[in-house]
Amino acid sequence: MKEILRMEGISKSFGHQQVLKDIDLIIDKPEIIALVAPNGSGKTTLLNLIADIEEPNAGEITILGRRNVDYHIFYDMSYLQDPSILYQHLTGWDHMEFIRREHKKTKEDMLALVEELGMTQYMSKKVKNYSLGMKQHLLLGIALMNDPKLLLMDEPLNGLDPFSIEQVRTILKRLHSQGVTIILSSHNLDEIEKVTETILFLHEGQLVSKENIKIEEIEYEFVLAEQELAMKFLDRIDVPYEICSSYKIRGTFVSEQLLAFKAFCSEQELTVFDQRMAKGTLETMYFNLFASRTQCVS
């Protein structure tokens, strides 16, 4: 299987300000990856570099075995940008029809996508009359028209009501189950935790995985079948925990304990249906990592 994305030594500066510093990243299997950082940290710049909208000062990017400067990659990749790329005087149908023809899709394909996203009632309106949520739906429709293998999304949840956020979350999980890799940036930490466990923070121009952020204790939830075995092991390694349901356990771990418990589950071949940080843990990581920047901004 071809690597989905490879970034080697990617650096980018604007004038004397270096925004990205020697970034390396390899994605070799379908994932949903969340890119998290405060405004102005370079998230959009990084996505623009992947999509060849901007050029790096150093480094190389390949997508599905092709250099990202090869226009053929856009048959397998889509980029959901901000609403400023939409044409205010055109309708939703105008936008979708252009993309449909470009990717040689049928009208039936287009209509099915429009219906799935719940856009039918306003597609005949000009974009200048759209709300932010309507624009976000249209951008998503445009991005999905070519059935991408790699989907880049810059703040896709902006302007969406709770129902629409749930709808987008369902679509992303379906796409991932079909083998699509998704890289999205978002400030909505609660929603990110509902979509993916793979989170990269963009800190001082470099990517930092959540596993490499030091916090004293991590609350983690496990949904697993063999609860009795899990409880005995947690007792043995002195992890305080609570039983949330007949299948769910929430424990408070230090890093070494969490690694030990995950290793135990793997070695004992326990049936783990789900595992994730408890609500609020990602927020703690965010503030620990970006505290000094937040204080400066405020």
Q: Where are the domains of the chain?
A: 5-212, 217-279
The number of beta carbons lying within 10 Å of the beta carbon of residue 251 is 22
pLDDT at 9: 96
Q: CB–CB of 227/247 below 8 Å?
A: yes
Which one, of 138, 35, 133, lies nearest residue 80 by Cα? 138
| Rounded average pLDDT per 10-residue block, the chain, 298 residues | 91 93 94 88 94 95 94 92 94 97 95 94 97 92 95 89 87 92 87 84 87 70 91 94 90 85 92 80 76 44
**61: closest CA among 208, 196, 183?**
183
Q: Do the Cβ atoms of 63 and 50 come closer than 8 Å?
A: yes
- Return the pLDDT at 216: 65
In terms of Cα–Cα distance, which of 264, 260, 230 is closest to 247?
Answer: 230
Q: Which amino acid is at 250?
A: R
Q: List C-alpha distances in Å: 1 to 24, 28, 64, 65, 180.
A: 20, 8, 9, 10, 14
Amino acid found at 186: S
Q: Which CATH class is domain 217-279?
A: alpha beta
- State which fold the 5-212 domain adopts: Rossmann fold (3.40.50)
Rounded Cα gap, residues 153 and 102, in angstroms: 20
Residues 139 and 87: their CA atoms lie apart, in Å, by: 11
Q: Which residues of 190-212 are buried (b: 16+ CB within 10 A; e: fewer)?
A: ebbbebbbebbbbbebebbebee
Q: Please give the Cα distance from 283 to 246 (Å, whole number).
A: 27
